């Protein structure tokens, strides 16, 4: 059994990957500041993995109990804090130490990154520097990094191989490029580093149980969570950003992949890094299939028996017509390819959203008649 540390493991992709790693026998330690994740998400991961009761054992720590000791421990902490990172590493040092880190913690909203660039450089880049320093102190040299297809910018290349030029066009993308560069330098600086840079295309959907899924803060920036919130009545209608792109139906084409396929990709990357000699591995994770906004909308409607209102509006600045992965290297290097269809993505995403209309915060309606009555009467 391998003991792994997940930074940002209580967020969308981290929580699904946490479950996949527990199911393949790993012991998992998570550090997350809950800025875009929650202890509740990991409680549900513990439940899905059959780890027994999930308990808060101190102000900053939660764990799942199971016979033979906990296989999942969560620390509230910030990746920019060496103290917080050491706490997570030291808890694991007792039983043999962390053998690999999966680094999900980071900020990812393009518009926000343009308004608050320093925050993005601080969390995404300084956070990674602090993490690498902590890995040095604790003798860990294996890292899987959450990179992004955003690095390719607005390219016309279809599909996009890993060798395509990197030309990010916003601060969020610059920070991802900077971290890739930093990790390349680190890998070259000393023998023994095993690093995977995983460039995600568009991860969407949810675990098929409907117990865990994406729970964005505020108004979703991305298409799929927005679509889900329109379906649940939380948003009135979808705005389709541009109907005049040079694509089959005029709407933007993207490579959507099921988050459980992505989660399994992380497990494969870890296996490959640990089995092979030290290396720096750079891989696209996508399906290789492009779907337009309207295709996704229609598939969501057909799969779930719903009709969703939408209007076509102006293009969103910074968007490109088509972004589709060439995922052949991931298949060649680690035997990974997506297995789940667009219909499964839509089915599972809706299972999550319909069972959790307010995400993890509460499953209750925001205003119960009784509560409103009490307030008026007081
Ligand atoms: C976006 C970011 C990307 C980031 C990724 C994950 C931009 C330009 N790109 O990718 O850098 O890595 O999210 O956070 O912001 N769409 C609509 N209506 C909506 C939302 C989206 O029509 O309300 C369209 C977009 O124009 C696009 C497609 O849906 O054609 C997918 O958009 P989105 O889910 O935001 O993903 P990306 O733009 O690919």
Q: How many domains is the chain partitioned into structurally? A: 1
Domain of residue 75, residue span: 3-204+257-288+327-340+359-376
307 assigned to some structural domain: no
Query: Which of 20-29, 63-72, 160-169 is least confident?
Result: 63-72
Shortest-distance Cα residue to atom 12 of ligand 1: 150
Q: Is the CB of 318 under 6 A from ligand 1?
A: yes
Percentage of the chain with pLDDT > 70? 93
pLDDT at 96: 76
Q: Which of 152, 319, 321 maximizes ligand 1 atoms within 8 Å of its Cβ, making it the mutation to test the pocket?
A: 319
How far is Cα 152 from Cα 161, in angstroms, rounded to an integer? 10
Strands 310-313 and 291-292: unpaired
pLDDT at 377: 28
Query: Which of 89-93, 184-188, 193-197, 338-342 is least confident?
Result: 89-93
Q: Give exposure, 250-281, as e/b (b: 16+ Cβ within 10 Å).
A: bbbbbbbbbbbbbbbbbbbbbebbeeeeeebb
Q: What is the pLDDT of residues 269-324, one digit of tens each?
A: 999 999 999 999 999 999 999 999 999 999 999 999 999 999 999 999 989 999 99
Mean pLDDT of 166-187: 98
314 assigned to some structural domain: no
pLDDT at 236: 96
pLDDT at 95: 67
352 assigned to some structural domain: no
The average confidence (pLDDT) of the chain is 93
Is the pLDDT at 376 greater than 80? The verdict is no
pLDDT at 362: 64
Q: Is the CB of 2 under 6 A from ligand 1?
A: no
CATH number, domain of 197, equals: 3.40.50.720
Mean pLDDT of 194-206: 98
55 assigned to some structural domain: yes
pLDDT at 361: 87
Confidence of residue 373 (pLDDT cuts 50, 70, 90): very low
82 assigned to some structural domain: yes
pLDDT at 363: 47
- Taking alpha carbons only, the member of 205, 222, 141 closest to residue 339 is 205
Which DSSP state fits 160? B
262 assigned to some structural domain: yes
User: CB within 8 A of 33, min separation 6: which ones?
Assistant: 76, 77, 78, 79, 105
Is the pLDDT at 378 greater than 50? The verdict is no
pLDDT at 66: 66
Q: What is the pLDDT of residues 66-118, one digit of tens each?
A: 655 679 999 999 999 999 999 999 987 666 799 999 999 999 999 999 999 99
Q: Is the CB of 316 under 6 A from ligand 1?
A: yes
228 assigned to some structural domain: no
Tell me the CA–centroid distance for residue 216 and ligand 1, in Å: 14
252 assigned to some structural domain: no
Mean pLDDT of 121-144: 98
Q: Is the CB of 297 under 6 A from ligand 1?
A: no
Shortest-distance Cα residue to atom 30 of ligand 1: 252
pLDDT at 374: 28
């Amino acid at each position: 059994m391998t003991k792994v540390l997940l930074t940002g493991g209580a967020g969308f992709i981290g929580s699904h990957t946490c479950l996949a790693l527990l199911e393949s026998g790993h012991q998992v330690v998570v550090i997350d500041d809950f800025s875009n994740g929650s202890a509740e998400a990991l409680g549900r991961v513990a439940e899905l993995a059959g780890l027994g009761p999930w308990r808060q054992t101190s102000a900053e720590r939660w764990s799942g109990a199971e016979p033979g000791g906990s296989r999942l421990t969560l620390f509230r902490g910030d990746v920019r804090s060496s103290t917080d990172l050491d706490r997570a590493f030291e808890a694991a040092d007792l039983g043999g130490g962390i053998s690999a880190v999966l680094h999900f913690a980071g900020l990812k909203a393009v518009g926000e990154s343009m308004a608050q660039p320093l925050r993005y450089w601080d969390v995404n880049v300084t956070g990674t520097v602090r993490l690498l320093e902590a890995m040095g102190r604790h003798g860990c040299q294996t890292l899987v990094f959450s990179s992004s297809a955003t690095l390719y910018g607005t390219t016309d290349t279809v599909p996009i191989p890993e060798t395509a030029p990197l030309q990010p066009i916003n601060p969020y993308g610059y920070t991802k490029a900077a971290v890739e560069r930093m990790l390349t330098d680190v890998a070259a600086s000393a023998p023994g580093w095993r690093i995977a840079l995983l460039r995600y295309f568009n991860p969407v959907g949810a675990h098929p149980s409907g117990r865990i899924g994406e729970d964005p803060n505020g108004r979703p920036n991305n298409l799929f969570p927005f679509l889900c919130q329109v379906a649940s009545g939380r948003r009135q209608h979808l705005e389709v950003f541009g109907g005049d792109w040079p694509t089959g139906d005029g709407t933007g084409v993207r490579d959507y992949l099921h988050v459980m396929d992505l989660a399994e990709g992380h497990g494969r990357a870890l296996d490959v890094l640990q089995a092979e000699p030290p290396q720096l591995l750079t891989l696209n994770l996508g399906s290789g299939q492009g779907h337009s906004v309207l295709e996704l909308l229609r598939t969501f409607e057909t799969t779930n028996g719903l009709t969703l209102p939408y209007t076509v509006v102006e293009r969103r600045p910074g968007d490109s017509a088509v972004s589709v992965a060439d995922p052949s290297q991931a298949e060649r290097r680690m035997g990974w390819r997506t297995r789940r269809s667009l219909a499964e993505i839509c089915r599972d995403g809706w299972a999550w959203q319909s069972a959790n209309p307010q995400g993890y915060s509460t499953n209750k309606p925001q205003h119960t008649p009784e509560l409103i009555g009490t307030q008026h009467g007081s």
